Amino acid sequence: MGLGTSGKGHIFVTDMDSIEKSNLNRQFLFRPWDVSKLKSETAARAVKNMNPAVQITTFTDRVGVETESVFNDEFWMALDGVTNALDNVDARRYVDGRCVFYRKPLLESGTLGTKGNTQVILPNVTESYSSSQDPPEKSIPICTLKNFPNQIEHTIQWARDSFEGLFRQPAENVNLYLSTPNFVDTALRGNTARETLLSIKEYLVDARPTSFEECVAWARHKFEELFVNNIKQLLHNFPKDSVTSTGQLFWSGPKRAPDALVFDATNDLHLDFVVYAAKLHAFNYGLKGADDREYYRKVLKTIHVPTFVPRDGVKIQVQENEQPNNNDSVTADQDELDALVAALPKPAELAGFRLTPVDFEKDDDSNHHIDFIAACSNLRASNYNIAIADRHKTKFIAGKIIPAIATTTALVTGLVCLELYKLLDAQPKPLDQYKNGFVNLALPFFGFSEPIAAPKMKYNNVEFTLWDRFEVGNMTLRELLKHFETQHQLEITMMSCGVSMLYSFFMPKKKVEERLNMSLRQLVETVAKKPVPPHAKTLVLEVCCNDAEGEDVEVPSIIVKL
């Protein structure tokens, strides 16, 4: 295209991520030897090799509120347009909001396997990306995950959650307990105080290993807890022949009656769980693991596993609308919480001691993260007679890998470039010359439509769209209220900046009087209790207003120029 190759032409690209192996099959700029390098810098080098005349500046920053000092007013105002290649909705909505604020055209796009889409967003003409949104991703009910799985996806998600609950969250809780003076007080005010304190006690007192053999023993006991004892307790509460209040068998429909497993060290799946759980537990404590499976079998013979007796009175969540029971059968009372706190070692006694949380990484085969999740999921599936999944499928689901095909990427890139030609053309074009694209190579389907025009709203017979705003200087609150009454025939009833409520009609009169003579900048700083960042040239205020008839009306935002 020759983009950014002459005159003042320039391309700015940013990406804070590094290249992973799973990125290699979906694009054309990265090669195997680029793995672990920064995406933006590597992509820029590849493009410069293709065309040395192209002028590119790279960043390695996330585009978001926290980097508005980097991507500031001067940066955005200098742009002619923006193209998105993002992988999450929050980032898309943020960039879309910036483009609306600075009135910059945006070419939005995305792919999912053989499917792809492109969207053209034109200042003052079309709706924005945020004007519509996809329905929320369907989640698995908690009761299904915890007690009634019926698909391998359920057991993989359960195993993924178990990974966090065994190897990351407890280690982080321990470190917070050891490093944060008021951590216990904060934890006691939360809804999961008992669960948090129990995990700290387990990892610091009850099951703190001093050797790798103790890590193996811990893993063996976890096997018994997760795949034997919990299942026996569930069947104690709901025997296989139990019926509901309507006389229907409880274990019917999507509910599969489980069976407790019997540990067998000669079963590779059983041993897999012990091996990988022990290694990850050892990683938490900085202990060296072992690879020889005969070593594990030898240690396992020495481990005593107590017989489990199911308890009466244990509440198990059956319906999604029931309150989940995070604390087994016991509601923690103050005496129990006090006893848990008293059982913990004083942080001063463990000065310098820290655990190493395990941060999930799907693409490093040597870390055994996927190996553990695969073993854990397949054991859970064995409990419920669900067909097990191989490691590849487990990695795909647990890692939430978005299927990507280079062909789809190339097609969507081409469609975006066609619209980019139109945007950069000096001759303005009518809306019907631009096209949003929707494709599915598997069908195949190729559909195009005109971008949707920005919907028009009205107050006091004044039409406006999402691209409009009121612009004012750094006047006082009193002057702003008066300005809206006289210039726009609008009564401001509420006004906010971010999460800070600056003014409302129901505020105490004394508080309103204190704020009326403050400048808008001073008002924001006073209420938010922090200064406006030095790089900020404007403030955005959201207001609710009544029109001349006293009716509540929607109005544009207010931009305060500082």
> Which residue spans within 56-125 are E strands per DSSP?
56-59, 82-83, 106-112, 115-121
**Residue for token digits 């407790």?**
260
The three-class DSSP label of residue 447 is strand
Burial 15-27 (b: 16+ CB within 10 A, else e): beeebeebbeebb
Spacing of C-alpha 393 from chain mean position = 22
276 contacts 199 by C-beta, under 8 angstroms: no
Cα–Cα nearest to 415, from 454, 452, 446, 453: 446
**DSSP states of 507-556:** S-HHHHHHHHTSBHHHHHHHHHTSPPPTT--EEEEEEEEE-TTS-EE---
108 contacts 86 by C-beta, under 8 angstroms: no
How far apart are alpha carbons 55 and 209 in whole angstroms?
56
What is the widest separation between alpha-carbon atoms in the chain? Answer: 87
**DSSP states of 18-41:** BP-GGGGGG-SS--GGGTTSBHHH
How far apart are alpha carbons 44 and 30 in whole angstroms?
11
How far apart are alpha carbons 215 and 203 in whole angstroms?
11
175 contacts 353 by C-beta, under 8 angstroms: no
> Which residues are known to be catalytic?
143
Rg of the chain in Å (alpha carbons): 30
167 contacts 376 by C-beta, under 8 angstroms: no
**Residue for token digits 């967003």?**
121
Instruction: Report the C-alpha dihedral over residues 295, 389, 36, 27, rounded to 10 degrees.
Output: 160
Strands 552-553 and 538-546: antiparallel
How far apart are alpha carbons 391 and 373 in whole angstroms?
9
**Residue for token digits 């025997």?**
239
How far apart are alpha carbons 217 and 357 in whole angstroms?
20
The three-class DSSP label of residue 213 is helix
How far apart are alpha carbons 268 and 464 in whole angstroms?
67
Give the Å distances, CA to CA, from 222 to 250, 296, 311, 347, 407.
28, 15, 19, 27, 45
How far apart are alpha carbons 163 and 409 in whole angstroms?
33
Give the Å distances, CA to CA, from 524 to 470, 475, 530.
18, 12, 8
